[in-house]
């Protein structure tokens, strides 16, 4: 799961300009992307950043050189956003690598045949189970 992180300050003009675009980006993010927002005056700001640092591999550490700071954490690696601050570009950056990838491509006709085959197998299995149960009950009745 990717993490989209925004570290900002309410007093910052650049952050104020980014805020409406950021709100739009959040609506465009995949369900596999969690959003983390850390405001400069948050009393737990350093603790939150330290928690993010604990998720990173090796020598990487979150660095806030100015506001706003945008980055993602993907596969325990930190990647800062350095492109245009437009909702489409930002959402593509944060969604990158979260798409579901299927190894096999099954056509509809094959999937239907597989489904019907599994249903037949289930029917056969339940038939066999019933037959076993009947045999056991017959043996029990013979003994009594």
Rounded to an integer, what is the distance from CA 43 to the centroid of its chain?
28
**pLDDT of 98 over the 90 cut:** no
CATH of the domain at 17: 3.40.30.10
Q: How confident is the model at residue 143 (pLDDT cuts 50, 70, 90)?
A: low
- Judge if 110 and 85 occupy the same domain: no
In this structure, the answer to whether residues 12 and 83 fall within a common structural domain is yes
The pLDDT of residue 105 is above 50:
no
Are 19 and 52 part of one and the same domain?
yes
At 58 the pLDDT is 73
Q: Is residue 21 part of a domain?
A: yes
* Domain identity same for 69 and 125: no
- Residues recorded for the chain: 144
Same domain for 83 and 27: yes
Per residue in 35-51, pLDDT (tens digit) is 999 999 999 999 999 99
List C-alpha distances in Å: 84 to 14, 92, 134: 13, 12, 72
State the DSSP code for 37.
E
> Does residue 131 belong to any structural domain of this protein?
yes
Pairing of strands 33-39, 69-74: unpaired
Averaged pLDDT, 47-69: 89
Asked if 70 and 39 sit in the same domain, the reply is: yes
Same domain, 83 and 111: no
Structural domain harbouring 133? 106-144
pLDDT of residue 144: 55
Total count of domains within the chain:
2
Looking at the structure, do residues 28 and 71 belong to the same domain, yes or no? yes
Strand order in the sheet with 77-80: 33-39, 2-8, 69-74, 77-80
Q: In this structure, is residue 100 part of a structural domain?
A: no
Q: Is residue 41, in this structure, part of any structural domain at all?
A: yes
Give DSSP secondary structure letters for 49-70. Answer: HHHHHHHS-TT------SSSEE
Q: pTM (2 decimals)? A: 0.66
Q: Select, from the ranges 78-87, 92-101, 134-143, the one with the highest average predicted confidence (pLDDT).
A: 78-87
Helices (H), the chain: 13-28, 45-55, 87-95, 108-143
pLDDT bracket for residue 125 (50, 70, 90): low
Tokens (6 digits) for 103: 């190894």
């Amino acid at each position: 799961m990717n993490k989209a992180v925004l570290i900002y300050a309410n007093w910052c003009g650049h952050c104020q300009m980014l805020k409406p675009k950021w709100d739009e980006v959040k609506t465009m993010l995949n369900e596999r992307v969690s959003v983390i927002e850390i405001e400069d005056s948050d009393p737990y700001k350093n603790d939150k950043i330290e928690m993010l640092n604990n998720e990173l591999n090796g020598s990487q550490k979150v660095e806030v050189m100015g506001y706003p700071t945008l980055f993602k954490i993907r596969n325990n690696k930190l990647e800062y956003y350095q492109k245009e601050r437009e909702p489409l570009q930002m959402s593509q950056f944060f969604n990158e690598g979260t798409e579901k990838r299927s190894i096999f491509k099954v056509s509809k006709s094959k999937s239907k045949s597989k489904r019907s085959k599994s249903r037949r197998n289930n029917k056969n299995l339940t038939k066999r189970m019933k037959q076993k149960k009947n045999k056991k009950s017959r043996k029990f009745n013979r003994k009594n």
